[in-house]
Structure 1
Amino acid sequence: MTSGDLDACVSLYVDTFNAPPWNESWTDDDAAQRLGDFLATPRAYGVCSLSSDGQVLGFALGHLERSQGDDHFLLKEMCVRTSMQREGHGTRLLQALTDHLAHVRHWYLLTARDSDASAFYERNGFRPAGRLGVFVRP
């Protein structure tokens, strides 16, 4: 994923997360800022899934963080076009990340508990982080 993919990823992001089950209210400008910031993060890496005609079907984006002598990967965003979900695109995106980041043993992400997304990540080898909690303010 490069800055050249950003416009297509922004459109996909807005379409995906403004629809059920998320029902969020993203604008193109806000999504472009968010994804652009993530892509500009040092040691960022992302991948896109493309149709045969070059249309972006999905993407995954995150960055490496160093901790106690190891690189960890924080998956910041991932989405697949709603009409293309449950066809293996998400799993292939994770596999492409894994192939590129083969040296990384520790991966992290945040998603809604007890959701289709959490079930997807569990099927792909992730597990709830036990003792860790998410704190927000206010």
Structure 2
Amino acid sequence: MQLLGSDILTLADRLTDAYVEVFTAPPWEHRDPAATREAFRERLETDAHRPGFRAALSLSASGEVDGFVTGWITQAPFPADRAYGKVTRRLGPDRVEGLLVGAFEVDELGVRARARGTGLGRQLLSALTAAAPDGRAWLLTWDEAHETLAFYRRMGWHEPEPLPGHDTGIVVFLSAPPRATRPRMPSVGR
């Protein structure tokens, strides 16, 4: 596994190939591969320069990307482009500010079909979020991506309650709280 910053751009072609394969397969099969390729590549050029940007890649023996995860620190003010407006509608501006701003935002996580079931997704997500500020990380995904929703739930990520009547087509997840260390109980003499 490789941890990268903006130097991810040296592997942009291989990462884009993997992204297109993952995000034009079910449940995203409605996406056009050429348009998906172009949009991701354009976003990657910008995202790689965001404050706190990090990526983790797993490469096959032949050098292809088997899995990837990217993200950055969510800055204030909370953005309104892309799907961010849906996040604000789902949670409300006060909770967005308190829960998401300053936390590590997982933007993309994908594992090619040939590498699924190996624990790679878990490893990538854990590697990237291990250094999240105060252990705080978040992400969003499409509410119709049922296997993806189940994966994050198995990982211990949880969903903050949405505002009533604010169905936005997305689900927001917060990282599992860091494991608290249990205080050691004093030994009892024999």
1:107 aligned partner = 137
After TM superposition, list the pairs within 5 Å mapping 1:38-49 onto structure 2: 38-49=47-58
Q: Secondary structure at the match of 1:79?
A: strand
Could you tell me how far apart the structure 2 residues matched to 1:53 and 1:32 are?
A: 22
Structure 1 residue 10 displacement after superposition: 0.5
TM-score, with structure 2 as normaliser: 0.62
1:8 aligned partner = 14
More strand by share: 1
Amino acid at match of 2:104: F
Instruction: Check conservation: 2:55, 2:128, Cα contact below 8 A.
Output: yes
Q: Secondary structure at the match of 1:111?
A: strand
1:36 aligned partner = 45
1:118 aligned partner = 149
Structure 1 residue 119 displacement after superposition: 0.7
Q: Secondary structure at the match of 1:54?
A: coil
After TM superposition, list the pairs within 5 Å mapping 1:83-102 onto structure 2: 83-99=114-130, 101=131
1:17 aligned partner = 23
Structure 1 residue 117 displacement after superposition: 0.5
Q: Secondary structure at the match of 1:110?
A: strand
Q: Secondary structure at the match of 2:32?
A: coil
Could you tell me how far apart the structure 2 residues matched to 1:95 and 1:83 are?
A: 20
Gaps of 5+ in 1: none
Could you tell me how far apart the structure 1 residues matched to 2:20 and 2:112 are?
A: 10
TM-score, with structure 1 as normaliser: 0.83
Could you tell me how far apart the structure 2 residues matched to 1:107 and 1:26 are?
A: 29
Could you tell me how far apart the structure 2 residues matched to 1:36 and 1:26 are?
A: 18
Gaps of 5+ in 2: 76-96, 170-190
Instruction: Check conservation: 1:47, 1:60, Cα contact below 8 A.
Output: yes
Change (3 A) 1:120 1:46: same
Aligned length: 134
Residue 78 of structure 1 pairs with residue 87 of structure 2: no
